[in-house]
Structure 1
Amino acid sequence: MASHLARRLIRRPVSALFFLRSYGHARHISHYILRGGSVCTKPMREAMEFFPRPSPYKCWSRSFASDGDLVDAVVPYMGESITDGTLATFLKKPGDRVEMDEPIAQIETDKVTIDVASPEAGVIQKFIAKEGDTVTPGTKVAVISKSAPSDTHVSPSDEKLGKDTGAAVPAEKKIDTQVPKSEVPKVDKLKTPPPPPVPKTSPSEPQLPPKEKERRVPLPRLRKRVATRLKDSQNTFAMLTTFNEVDMTNLMKLRSDYKDAFVEKHGVKLGLMSGFLKAAVSGLQNQPIINAVIDGDDIIYRDYIDVSIAVGTPKGLVVPVIRNADRMNFADIEKEINTLAKKANNGTISIDEMAGGTFTISNGGVYGSLLSTPIINPPQSAILGMHSIVSRPMVVDGNIVPRPMMYIALTYDHRLIDGREAVFFLRRIKDVVEDPRRLLLDL
């Protein structure tokens, strides 16, 4: 009989609510959790009127355990994506008087802070959980007595008043013996200062008066997106930058010797970027951890190399991706770079051509940058920064000679990549750029 009644109530949630309402332990329930995580705090009658008949929604009452006079306050439902939280602090103490729905503790999750409310009016008998415990929905936090007298616990203000007079007397009686009730509101009105004037300016208005020769324009959407991604990168990654210097003599000589033949055969100019990209591919193959990424509690290793090239445009910085760079030769790389750079400057580049990428190269040297610490392009784990070529005195075979030198920088996520791998990666780029013959011999 009981199981048959339970099945009928489950199929008819509205009838179930009327059934629960007929019992004394459920008549005060005023919180209902709707499917999807929203909470209804209206009284029972209004909550009943909220559902159309027949209602497609199911309704659950706030769960708490009851043992006659004692009830348990439990951790409430915290949302679909939140499975547990940390008991941060207690807002009450054992012996404190609490009203129904009054918060007694706070639960911190990875998204929000949730209150644990008292299911009934009464006095807190004891706490079951402790601060710092990891709790889940339904975990018992405190035991509350519904029938405990309200004067069993003396509040801190009453304790102080009792110490001054030598006896613990109720606060209301003490006020009656000192100040007539009719005079209390009058004294409060005299002592209460007037509320401060409400500021007329809103946060969106400028805080400083405008000055001459200034103009205000809306932030472009591209700049907003760049700002958000870069700030998220700083907040997420443990970024560390390591540096090295490269002698550009041999790569520049290779370019000078074969630039005409290269243009004649492939139709594009031979640049320095293709040499660095081939060197980066070799470094990523030697240190695959730099091509990997952290995803939650896992490490994702990529068996492909898609290199993002940072391109500055009049509208802002864009990062097109060269797919499968490990399968390209110098000519293929130069052609792809030229095609993507033209699209970026013309504003015709698509989202798909900028999506993805496992590693980024940023060439600040074209603007004259001598040294910088680039910021990782999420969700990648590292970025290579190239800089300007400067002729500096170097010691070669015991002699001081001028050499075209470039500083290179690697910013990496130190959570995943150690300094050893980062230094080996830069050393590989240095070796390949200084002696491009290594690529032919796979050395």
Structure 2
Amino acid sequence: MLSKRAIAIARSRAFCASNRSQTSLSKLWNVAGTQLTRTQFHTSRLLQAETVKVPQMAESISEGTLRSWSKKVGDTVEADEEVATIETDKIDVTVNAPISGTIIETLANEEDTVVVGQDLFKIEAGAASSKTSESPKELPPSSKQEDSEEPVDQQVDKSAPPPPQPSGVDKQGGGIPSDGPKEAKKELKEDAKASAKKEETPAAPSKAPGNRNETRVKMSRMRLRIAERLKESQNAAASLTTFNEIDMSALMDLRKKYKDEVLKEHDVKLGFMSAFARACTLALQELPAVNASIEGDEIVYRDFVDLSVAVATPKGLVTPVVRNAESLGFLQIEKEIAALGKKARDGKLSLEDMTGGTFTISNGGVFGSLFGTPIINLPQAAVLGMHTIKERPVVVNGQIVIRPIMIVALTYDHRLLDGRDAVTFLVKVKEYIEDPRKMLLAPF
């Protein structure tokens, strides 16, 4: 038979054990609940985030170089807004945001080689929020006292009457006027600021005489591709160049007479390129061999003209194509060339804009070139080079006169074209330019 004291001790121990078990269970539930909450939050974030991959660029392009990030981690973007630029050996490809949201992670660095289908960055869906600037917090009273110009022990009660100020000049002691200390203090401050500014501005390093530094820059993919194509043309084609002179008087008079009217009515500048494009198109239709190409052991003749127009960009020379130039007039050709030139300078040319040309025109004259032998843009058969216009003395009807003269060059593939065809083509272009009215009488 247990005593009352033993029964009380047993009950007390049982009660404590029960409390301990309930406390442990409560802690376990709290921990589990926290983990569950965290897991649910993490899972929802993962579900909201979308991984954007390197897009398909073209059938013949499988990789490129990540040139630059337009956005960084933490930036908000709208749908279809540019995030990154990938440079390939032919074109620049922009990667846009598929949805509005926030960039939460980038998965590649600039100058990295990326392939089609590779993960590029992660974006979390959500409306793009405008950034708000934080207003500066007010300093505590102690900080305000520390920022005061005078020490705390020198600050006086503003309600007390100010001490008497001396007036005039002390002749015996060579004193200064009553406002002298303030002006002196102001001058000292300005001098201190000026000296501090001089110390902060570093002196420009002087270039040592005989400096022989070198800078190495990695070639871009586009420049490597240009070098490869030019060398391929040099090795494959039997290139030959023929020259001629063109009197630009008639075309310059035509342009001078109508350029303002064309700009006002059609919002396009009337230049020389459209006239040369039209003249070449007519000559190509009269001499289809110049518009042909060699494929294997066959010659491909075309009844259409796709003109490649060489455009200089900061990254190199590109040749966007004016499609079906044979069906376009002066102004239509001029508009097409202007639009393609703008796209080229902005780096927005697509692969379709640059493929499939049948004949190329290159205008080195805009840079002051006087003579030049352009390189054939394979698989084309010929390329026309335009040069700068110079006033020269020429003989017209037995008289020496001054005329604006342009030297033009035609480089052609001698495997496909004989000298007669090449020279005849260039002469026809000369005739059309020297008398533009003949273009209206052409049968094509």
Q: In structure 2, how many angstroms separate the alpha carbons of the residues matched to 1:395 and 1:275?
A: 25
Q: In structure 2, how many angstroms separate the alpha carbons of the residues matched to 1:228 and 1:319?
A: 15
Report the equivalent of 2:295: 295
Report the equivalent of 2:395: 395
Unaligned runs of 5+ in 2: 1-210
SS of residue matched to 1:352 = helix
Give runs of aligned pairs for residues 5-154 of structure 1, distance below 5 A.
Answer: none
Report the equivalent of 1:419: 419
Shift in Å at residue 397 of structure 1?
1.4
User: 1:282-338: CA deviations, max 9, x gaps?
Assistant: 110111000001111111001110000000001111100000000001110111111
Report the equivalent of 1:342: 342
Partner AA of 2:244 in structure 1: N
Report the equivalent of 1:51: none
Report the equivalent of 1:306: 306
Shift in Å at residue 265 of structure 1?
1.9
Partner AA of 1:256 in structure 2: K
- Which aligned segments of 4 or more residues in structure 1 are displaced greater than 2 angstroms? none
Report the equivalent of 1:362: 362
Report the equivalent of 1:272: 272
Shift in Å at residue 353 of structure 1?
0.3
Partner AA of 2:285 in structure 1: Q
Q: In structure 2, how many angstroms separate the alpha carbons of the residues matched to 1:255 and 1:269?
A: 10
SS of residue matched to 2:388 = strand
Q: In structure 1, how many angstroms separate the alpha carbons of the residues matched to 2:401 and 2:212?
A: 53
Shift in Å at residue 264 of structure 1?
1.9
Q: In structure 2, how many angstroms separate the alpha carbons of the residues matched to 1:440 and 1:372?
A: 30
Partner AA of 1:298 in structure 2: E
SS of residue matched to 1:385 = strand
Report the equivalent of 2:222: 222
Report the equivalent of 2:250: 250
Between the aligned residues of both structures, percent identity stands at: 59
SS of residue matched to 1:265 = helix
Q: Given that residues 282 and 442 in structure 2 are in contact (C-alpha distance below 8 angstroms), is that contact kept between their aligned partners in structure 1?
A: no
Q: Given that residues 307 and 323 in structure 2 are in contact (C-alpha distance below 8 angstroms), is that contact kept between their aligned partners in structure 1?
A: yes
Report the equivalent of 1:168: none
Scaled by the length of structure 2, the TM-score of the pair is 0.52
Report the equivalent of 2:237: 237
Shift in Å at residue 275 of structure 1?
0.5
Partner AA of 1:340 in structure 2: L
Q: In structure 2, how many angstroms separate the alpha carbons of the residues matched to 1:442 and 1:289?
A: 19
State yes or no: 1:373 paired with 2:340: no
Q: In structure 2, how many angstroms separate the alpha carbons of the residues matched to 1:425 and 1:392?
A: 24
User: 1:248-302: CA deviations, max 9, x gaps?
Assistant: 0000000001111111221101000000000100110111000001111111001
Q: Given that residues 285 and 303 in structure 2 are in contact (C-alpha distance below 8 angstroms), is that contact kept between their aligned partners in structure 1?
A: no
SS of residue matched to 1:317 = strand
Q: In structure 2, how many angstroms separate the alpha carbons of the residues matched to 1:377 and 1:265?
A: 36
Q: In structure 2, how many angstroms separate the alpha carbons of the residues matched to 1:253 and 1:212?
A: 52
User: 1:66-98: CA deviations, max 9, x gaps?
Assistant: xxxxxxxxxxxxxxxxxxxxxxxxxxxxxxxxx
Q: In structure 1, how many angstroms separate the alpha carbons of the residues matched to 2:218 and 2:259?
A: 45
Q: In structure 2, how many angstroms separate the alpha carbons of the residues matched to 1:366 and 1:441?
A: 30
Shift in Å at residue 399 of structure 1?
1.0
Partner AA of 1:320 in structure 2: P
> More displaced, 258-267 or 373-382?
258-267
User: 1:136-171: CA deviations, max 9, x gaps?
Assistant: xxxxxxxxxxxxxxxxxxxxxxxxxxxxxxxxxxxx
Partner AA of 1:237 in structure 2: A
SS of residue matched to 1:409 = strand
Unaligned runs of 5+ in 1: 1-210
Q: In structure 2, how many angstroms separate the alpha carbons of the residues matched to 1:374 and 1:287?
A: 20
SS of residue matched to 2:366 = helix
Shift in Å at residue 212 of structure 1?
3.0
- Aligned length in residues: 233
User: 1:376-419: CA deviations, max 9, x gaps?
Assistant: 00111100000000000011111111000000000000001000
Q: In structure 2, how many angstroms separate the alpha carbons of the residues matched to 1:365 and 1:324?
A: 25
Q: In structure 1, how many angstroms separate the alpha carbons of the residues matched to 2:236 and 2:304?
A: 24
Partner AA of 1:378 in structure 2: L
User: 1:83-135: CA deviations, max 9, x gaps?
Assistant: xxxxxxxxxxxxxxxxxxxxxxxxxxxxxxxxxxxxxxxxxxxxxxxxxxxxx
Shift in Å at residue 358 of structure 1?
0.0
After superposition, the CA RMSD in angstroms is 1.0
State yes or no: 1:440 paired with 2:440: yes
